[in-house]
Each structure stands twice: as C-alpha cells, then as structure tokens.
Structure 1
Amino acid sequence: MTRSVVSRASSSPWRRFIFGSFAAFLIIWANTGRTRRRDGPVDIGAGDGWSLLRPKEYPEGYDYCRAKYLGAEGYRSLSKTHNLQTLHIITRHGDRTPALPFPDTPNSPPTWVNACPPTEYAHLTPSERGFLKTLSLGDDDDEKEYWAGRCNLGQLTYRGIEQMKDVGRAVREVYLTGRVEWEGGKTPGLEEARFRSTDVWRTVQSAQYFVNELFPVGNASSVGEQQPVPLEIRPRPIDALGLRLGSADLRALYRKTRAHDRAFLAYHQLSTQFAAHMNDAVQADYEYSLESWFDLLQTRGCHGYELPCAAGKDTCLIARDVESTVWLAHEWLRLEYDTQMGDRRKESVMRIGPLVREILSKRRSDTRIHHYSAHDTTLSGLLAVLASGSHTLKLQQAAHAWPPYASMLVIEVWKPKEESLSNDGGDGEGLDVRILYNGEVMPWLINGEVKEVIAWSKLRSPLADWLDA
C-alpha cells in the first residue's frame, strides 16, 4: 500500500470543523463500551466476527482472508461457438504475515511461530525472456535452524502456500483438462506459458506454487525433482506490475493531486486522527498510520489472533475499532485509483497504463498463457480501469472491494469458430473477450445492453481512449 503524501495546506475552518467533529464522533463511538481491566481481549477470529470485515455494500460471500476460486463445476465454457486463444491471469499473493512489526503489546509476539516455511524458495532457471533472479538457501544447517518457525515481515505463510496451490489447481482443471477448446486444437503446454512476478519474496513464492499445480510434474516432492520454470522479474523501479511510483514526475503528480483533492484531504485528516486514537489505545511504541493498522488487523484476524491490548491489558482494541479501520481503509482504496478526471486521470495512466498496454499488446502471440504474480494494489488498479470502461455495478463493486488473498483476475481472449458468431460486427479483429474476477464473470454495458462476452475492440477502445488522455 502506498503511504499517503499530502501538503500542509489547510482546508477552510468550516471543513476542518465538520471533519474534526466526525472524527471525534468516530473515536467516541469506537470507545463506547470499551472494557477496561477485563480478563482478556476481544477475539475476532473465524466465525461470525468476520462480518465486521465485510462492509454491507460488498458482494455476498466476500472474505478478505480467502478469495473465491474459479471452480470447474460452475465454469461456463464458450467452446460451442469459440476457441480459446489467449489467457491472461493476474493473481494476488496468498495469505502473508504483516508488512510491519506488531505493536509491542502484551499479546503481540515479535514473531509468528510455525506459520511460515523455513526453506521454501522459488526454483528458477535462466532463459532468454528478460530479467531473471535466482534464489537458493543452500545446506547451511545453522541458517535453516534459525529460520525454522520464524516469519519474516510480509512473508507468505503455509496458509498462503495452500491458497496458491488451490488457485493453480483450479486454473488447470478449468483450462487444461479438456473443458475448453483451444485455437489450433491443442491444449497449451509449459513451453507456451509465460510467468512473471514482482521482485518480492511472497509473489515469487506464490508464482512457484501456482505453476507447480498448473503444470504438475509427476509426484515430485522436492525442489530438485521439479521441472525448472523461467520466471521473469524486473527491477522494481521499472516494473509496471507493482504499480509503483517509480519516476520523479509520477511522484510529483501523486503529491500534487492529493494536495488539492478535498475528498482525499478529508480522508487524510480523519484517518490520521483515528490512527492516533488506535496508537494511544494500545500505547504503541510506533506511530502506525491508518493503512498500517488495516494491514496489522487483517493479517492478525485471518489467523484468529487476539486484538492488541495496552500494557497490563488495561485497554484492548474492540470490534468497533476493527470496523472503523476497515471502513476508512476502503475509503482510501476508493480514492487511490481515480481514473476519471484531470490530473488524477493523468496519474492513473502513468501508473497503471504500462501494464494495461502490455496486456493489450499480447492478444495474439506464441505465448498462450500469461501469468502475473502481483499484489492487491495491482488488481485494484486494473479493476478501477476496467470499471471505468464497463459501466456496470458488478465491476464497480469489485473495484471498491479490497482484493482478498489469492484473488485472481482472468482475461480470456476467444476466437469465434465462424465469423458470424463474432461480437464485433465486422469492425474489429474478429476476437471476443470475457473477464472473470474471483470466479465470477464481470459484464460490460454495450449500447444499453449488459453483455458477458464482448468484442476485443469494445474492450480496447475505451482503454485506448483512457491511455491517450
């Protein structure tokens, strides 16, 4: 998540009064019923407590801790009328540990014990596909013993590993076991697939476990027995997959847009005040931002850990704190990827545009499966761009909901078996496209009609207009 950066320019006294009053109300409401000197903290683990992490406007079944998977039984193939030509799969990594250390509170251990693999590294090999990276742990027993049962910050957990295996297995069952007909009559093999990841340990590992299930090799149980797979990793400053603020021009524009955006300034004021309330409640030894609290509480909640308490457990965070944090964090998400107007649109083109161009350029290629192992921010940015072109409620909801762990955006490019079956009406390339997100088809509004399958030209045209803005 990108930290908020705004100028110190103040808003009007009247706006400060309104949002200051609302912040005070939110903090008072969160403190109402707060138990002091109680026996233990509130547990927000699995079960009904997770309703607090699912805002009312979210689609039914939303769960931050685990995305819904693309299931073979519910998948509707287009193979009666089309052949599948190209597949783009963008995934978020699986469950991970917090990106920042936990506040130093009585019930916040400094390490997550037995949650992470000690020696699991991606198995990579050189290729001609560009930037590469090779990792190895070696046979140092002391090093293995040190890492056993200890998690690094932001590390993929055992649960996250299983999630990515499930996703890879689900994609294989849908697309590589005869349920769809591929162009040319041949199901793609490993040599026709391309894998790419950001330069982050958890996404590299997520790609590893995804591809191990997508193209399993016998019953290989160790890295040495598995087939090496090329994995493209670009240096962070020039990697479009991470949607990072790499260039100086983009960073300057990012600051400028937020310094003059009234909605963002209001959010920043409110979130700063509420984060200060949270830090004070647990007597945190570090000034965590609202976005940091969101990450800390979500990762903790997904593992059923107790809410943090102050020294002596005199004061513990409660469910209302979680609810308010989640609400504010989603306000950040809604404001972060504005693709519509002025400088915000220009910023989104600079930030998200390179990845969109890359996907659009690969509708026809020798590589038929493209997998991108990325982050929640990557999916949020792409969903925001797609939502601006589709004009449908379903994609709008998807764009405003934080992508759960192991989320997956799939772009299917189909070629009609007969020209008369194409959706482009003769004005395009004779290709159709369908978009799925976490197992559900994302429809588009075309000439007042909601369609699940649209011409490639109908997808390309609004995105090209946005890119040219």
Structure 2
Amino acid sequence: MNPKSAFTTLPIYLLFFTTCTNGFSIYNALFKAQSNLKSLIYQNHPIPEGYTYCQAEYPIADNYKKVPNSELLHVQLFLRHGDRTPENLIKNELVDWNDCKQSYDHIQLRPNNSEQTDITFQLIPQLPAKSSTNTDSKKDFSSKLWTGSCSVGQLTDLGKQQHIQLGKAIRELYVEKLNFLDSELSSANIERNINVRTSQIWRTQNTAESFLNGLYPSINRKNQTNIPMNYYPIQIETMLSNTIMCPKIKLILQKIALSRDYINYLKSTRKEMAKLNHIFGVNTNADSKWLYSWISHMDVLQPRLCNNKPYPCNLDLCASKQDAKFALNNANFETKYIKRDSIYSDMLTRLTAGPLLNEILVGFNKVIGNKDKNNQIPKLSIFSAHDETLTNLLGAFKANDEGILWPPYASNLAIELWKQNPSNGQSASHSIRILYNGKTLQVLGTKNETNKPWCDFNSCDYSNFEKYLTTIIPDDIIKECEI
C-alpha cells in the first residue's frame, strides 16, 4: 500500500466553505436578510428504531429469497469502510486511539517474478509519545494528535472485524446458499468470480483486505492466489465527487448552501454549534466548515461514541452523548437535503454520481451482451468506498427517508442483475434488485410522480432502470462541468 494514499477526504458538503473566500460575507448578509423568517424545525425527524451510525446490518442468508423464475447473473457491491478514527482534529486531543494494531498491509517481494516470496514488509503508522514537558512539546507536533497506534481517518481493528463479518455474510449468501460464486478461490478462477476496486485512501484498501478475508478465508484460497485491488487516480476518480475535474460542483453546492431552507436550518442550530466549537477549541475564523455544516462535529463525536471514548472537554464544559446524537441528526438532514430534496439536487447528482452510474450501466450491459462463455466477466464486482459514494448513489436512486440516512460503518449496497427465464416463446428479460444493508431499497417517485416509487427494487424491470439512469448520466461530463 502506498502510504501517501492515507490522506483524508473532506465531505463534499464542506467544499464550498473551504474553497470560497467570500463565503463569510455572503453568509453573514444572508443570515441578516433572512432573520425575520420563521425557523424551520429540523430536529423533528426522529432516527428510526435500530439505526446506528456505528454498525450497518448485514444480509442474512436465511432471509434471502431469489427473484422468482430468474437466474442471478451479476452483482455490483458497494461498501462503506468500517469503523475509523476521526478525520478532524480538535485543539486538545487527549483521547487514546490504541485501536489499530491488527495490520493486513504487507508488501511482498518476489525475485524474478517467481512464486516464492523473498521478503515481506509491513506498513504500520508510528505515533511518537507526546512530549513530557511544556518545553519539549514545542519542539515537535506530537501535541496536535492523540496517542496510540492509529493515524487520522484510519480503519480501526473494530472496522476490520466489521468487514470480515460482512465478508462472511456475503459468503453465506452468494457462495453457500446460491452457489453463485465458487467456494474456493484460485489464480485460475479469480477472473470469473470477483473484481475489486478501492479508492486511493488507505482505509478503503484495509476494508477490502478485511472483507476478502471473510469472503474467501485462507482455507478457501489456494496457495499464492493473487487478488488484484484496482484503484483510479484521484484526478479521474468516480467513487467520490470529483471537484478536481468538475469545478461546477462547487458552484451548485454554493447555491444549495445559500438557499433559504439551509440558512434557516443553520440558524436553528447556531447555539448548539457555538457550544461545541468552544469545547473543540476550533478556530472558526480560519476554517469556516465549523460554522456552516455539522459534518465535522459529527465526525469528531461519532467515532468516540462508537468506541466508548471520552468526549472532548474544555475546562469544565464537556460534550455529551446527546450532543453526538444532535450532530448526527443534523448531518442526516444535510445529506437528505443536499443529495435529494434541494431544487439543485438533481443537477448535483448528474455531476457527482453520473459518471459512477454510467459505470454501473456499462457493467450490466456488458454482462447482458456477453454471448461468449469463454469471455470471463466477474460475477461479483466489489467497490470498497466511502459514505459519500453511497450517499451519491442513494440520492440518485431517490432513497426514502430511512434509506437516505447517513450510511453506517460497513454499509453495503448490492445491485443485482437477474435474467428472467423466458416463457411461451418470449425472449428473456432482465431485472434489477437492490439490497441496502440487507433490506430491499425503498425509493420515492420522481418529481413528476411524487407518490409512487419510480421502481420496485424487489424486481425492477431493467429497461426502466436503464431509462431512469440515462436521464441522470451526462452525455458530455466535461462540457457540463464547465463554469
């Protein structure tokens, strides 16, 4: 693994505030202009029973039912990484993150392309102990980070275990119950079974390694089986909102952030936000993301909640579990409003999710059009990705209020392609089923049919699925991204 791939990512919602130099003046003016508007109540959207940010539900093989009179052809499986450390650092990082001791990262050298490993290297983050005196603490940067064995935004041992268990659940389903995948993986059959793609970011690579350890444990892998893990360079990445190649994304986010509903939402939470900013000791003048979104606050608090870590304090004032819940509820509103409900959401979806949706369609159409049995197309395409990847897709699919909640750790979105057996001389047709965290994805209607789901993902006719997605996918993404 490339240590440089361990950099962290900003949620797409924060990009406007961290890149637009006039964000403060625009927002301050609009706050004053909207001061007489009735504040909207956003906290009255209760989190459903059983939902937790800390752990997604897994598919259960015993509860799984095949699409009637159909054959499963292909699955595209999108994963959110497991439990991780925070990405945002606060002033007093006194918590210990000694939670990343299990490493699956090894670099093997094989001289002259031989089958035998000559030497193995292991990648381990090194966090020096914090200086013991105030004088020493000024000579390095150790006081700015927690102690322990974890880097910023790193997959924890718990996160690895979450994906080992998810891999086992997927094995029980697609190997043991359906006989869809081969029981044993070898260099001879890997291409017809799985394909793995990660982002450049370390935790998604750790996630894929852990997931594969559950899907194909060592007892089910032949010796020297090499499993390639592919990734796109960040400049052409499609699993994250690509603001490098598409600067127009930032302009759309600006319009959303300056909308009346979003401004009123922020006004209704300013008191709580100011309290947490004080506790965190963040410099809001230097970094405006702490003023205009709750995503960073959630990022600080949820990993601590999920790992039973103490909450941050500043003198005698401390954050609490209730604060963590409040921040999560606000983050849920933000993802729902930005990705689905804003009048600009469809425009945003075209540029953020459109390229990935195109890859999904291309993959399915390749399977449907494949008439050569010798042309091996992997049955399972694994995308080890991020919460943003899933929210982009869920927003594009118009997931209902429960489905659009922030994806928990180890979330899993399985898009299945089924071939319906022909009858009465009719040609075979195809359908799509989508399972999100073990349950059929429930969706809303389009803007023209708000009361009727645009498709039933127990078995959605493929032609309808394809037609809907083509309305979202840009014909010329480069042109549409121009400012």
How far 1:267 moved relative to its partner? 3.5
Q: Distance in 2 between matches of 1:259 and 1:277?
A: 22
The number of equivalent residue pairs is 404
Equivalent pair of 1:123/1:229 in contact (CA under 8 Å) = no
Cα distance in 1 for residues equivalent to 2:432 and 2:40: 45
Q: Which residue of 1 aligns with 2:191?
A: 191
Say which of 310, 314, 320 aligns to 1:318.
320
2:30 pairs with one of 3, 6, 11: 11
- The alpha-carbon distance between structure 1 residues 270 and 199, as it changes in their structure 2 partners (threshold 3 A), is farther
CA contact (8 A) 2:85 2:156 kept: yes
Q: Counterpart in 2 of 1:384?
A: 395
Farther-moved stretch of structure 1 (147-156 vs 209-218): 147-156
C-alpha deviation, 1:83, in angstroms: 1.0
Q: Please state how far the C-alpha of 1:205 moved relative to its aligned partner.
A: 0.7
Residue 76 of structure 2 corresponds to 88
Distance 1:66 1:350, change over 3 A: same
The Cα shift of 1:4 comes to 5.3
Residues 63-88 of structure 1: per-residue CA shift (max 9 Å, x gap): 2111000011111123x511110100
Q: State the Cα deviation string for residues 357-411 of structure 1 (Å, max 9, x = none).
A: 0001111332221110001111111011112xxxxxxx31244311000000001
Q: Which residue of 2 aligns with 1:51?
A: none
Matched, 1:117 2:110: no
Is this contact kept in 2: 1:308–1:316, CA < 8 A? yes
Measure how far apart 1:461 and its partner are: 1.3
Asked if the contact 2:103–2:124 (Cα under 8 Å) also holds between the matched residues in 1, the reply is: no
2:344 aligned with 1:346: no
Please say if residues 108 and 120 of structure 2, whose CA atoms lie closer than 8 Å, have aligned partners that are also in contact: no
Q: CA deviation at 1:98?
A: 0.7
Which of the numbers 251, 254, 263 marks the counterpart of 2:252? 254
Give the secondary structure class of the aligned counterpart of 2:178. Answer: coil
Q: Which amino acid aligns with 1:249?
A: P
User: In the alignment, what sits opposite 1:33?
Assistant: none
Counterpart position of 1:212: 213
The TM-score with structure 2 as length reference comes to: 0.73
Q: 1:354 to 1:196 in 2, by over 3 A?
A: same
Identity %: 25
1:462 pairs, out of 459, 462, 468, with: 468
The equivalent residue for 2:378 is 367
- Check 1:272–1:245 CA distance in 2 against 1; reply closer, same or farther (3 A cut): farther
Question: Hey, what's the Cα distance between the residues in 1 that align with 2:396 and 2:109?
Answer: 34
Q: 1:368 to 1:328 in 2, by over 3 A?
A: same
Alignment check: 8 A CA contact 1:59 1:397 kept? no
Residue 338 of structure 2 aligns with an amino acid whose one-letter code is E
**Secondary structure of residue in 2 paired with 1:76:** coil
Q: Show the counterpart of 1:168.
A: 167
**Cα distance, 1:331 vs structure 2:** 1.8
Structure 1 position 336 matched with structure 2 position 310: no
Partner of 1:433: 432
Alpha-carbon contact 2:127-2:149 (below 8 Å) kept = no
Distance in 1 between residues matched to 2:214 and 2:309, nearest whole Å = 30
User: Structure 2 vs 1, CA of residues 273 and 370 (structure 1 numbering), >3 Å: closer, same or farther?
Assistant: same
Which of 115, 130, 138 is matched with 2:121 structurally?
138
Q: 1:309 and 1:169, CA in 2 relative to 1: closer, same or farther beyond 3 A?
A: same
> What is the alpha-carbon root mean square deviation over aligned residues?
3.9
Deviation at 1:202, TM superposition (A): 0.4
1:195–1:232 contact (8 Å) kept in structure 2: yes
Structure 1 residue 216: Cα displacement? 2.7
Question: Could you tell me which of 416, 426, 429 is aligned with 1:412?
Answer: 416
- Give the partner amino acid of 2:303: T
Aligned to 2:264: 266
- Structure-2 residue corresponding to 1:179: 178
Asked whether 1:284 is paired with 2:281, we answer yes
1:445 deviation in Å? 7.7
- Equivalent residues of 1:124, 1:229 under 8 A apart: no
Measured in 2, the distance between the counterparts of 1:207 and 1:455 equals: 31
| Rounded Cα–Cα distance in structure 1 between residues aligned with 2:401 and 2:384 | 23
Report the CA distance between 1:61 and its aligned residue.
1.7
Q: Output the CA distance in 1 between the equivalents of 2:309 and 2:31.
A: 42
The 8 Å contact of residues 68 and 439 in structure 1, kept in 2 or not, is answered as yes
Superposition pairs for residues 298-317 of structure 1, below 5 Å? 298-311=302-315, 314-317=316-319
2:63 to 52, 62, 74: 74
Using the TM superposition, name which of 288-297 and 376-385 deviates more.
288-297
174 and 328 in structure 1: CA distance in 2 versus 1, 3 angstrom threshold: same
CA contact (8 A) 2:61 2:177 kept: no
> Is the alpha carbon distance of 1:122 and 1:195 closer, same or farther for their aligned partners in structure 2, counting shifts above 3 Å?
farther
* Secondary structure, aligned partner of 2:417: strand
Q: Which runs of 5+ in 1 are unaligned?
A: 27-54, 127-135, 388-394
Q: CA 1:4–1:277 in 2, change beyond 3 Å: closer, same or farther?
A: farther
Q: Please tell me whether the aligned partners of residues 409 and 438 of structure 1 are also in contact (alpha carbons under 8 angstroms).
A: yes
Task: Indicate conservation of the 8 Å contact 1:267/1:331, yes or no.
Answer: no
Deviations 1:186-222 (A, max 9, x none): xx952221110111100011011112222233278xx
Please state whether the residue corresponding to 2:16 is helix, strand or coil: coil
Q: What's the CA shift string for 1:3-54, capped at 9, x where partnerless?
A: 15264332274622447x789x99xxxxxxxxxxxxxxxxxxxxxxxxxxxx
Q: How far apart in 2 are the matches of 1:122 and 1:421?
A: 55
| Alignment partner, residue 63 of structure 1 | 52
Deviation of 1:125 after TM superposition, in Å, equals 10
- The residue identity in structure 1 corresponding to 2:408 is P
Distance 1:145 1:217, change over 3 A: farther
Contact in 1 for aligned 2:54/2:409 (Cα 8 Å): yes
1:90-119 deviations in whole A, cap 9, x for unaligned? 0000001111224406xx32x412x11264
Contact 1:90/1:379, CA 8 A, preserved across alignment: yes
My pick for the range that moved more, 254-263 or 351-360, is 254-263
Query: 1:457 and 1:216, CA in 2 relative to 1: closer, same or farther beyond 3 A?
Result: same
Q: Which amino acid aligns with 1:67?
A: A
Provide the rounded CA distance (Å) in 2 between the counterparts of 1:361 and 1:169: 28
Instruction: Provide structure 2 residue ranges, at least 5 long, that are not aligned to the other structure.
Output: 1-10, 18-22, 111-118, 130-145, 183-187, 368-376, 476-483
Change over 3 Å in CA distance of 1:338–1:141 after alignment to 2: closer
- The structural deviation recorded for 1:145 is 9.8
What amino acid does structure 1 have at the position aligned with 2:34? R
8 Å CA contact retained: 1:165, 1:212: yes
Equivalent residue, structure 2, for 1:39: none
Distance 1:454-1:123 versus aligned 2 partners, 3 A rule? farther
In the alignment, the residues of structure 2 paired with residue 397 and residue 201 of structure 1 have an alpha-carbon distance, to the nearest angstrom, of 31
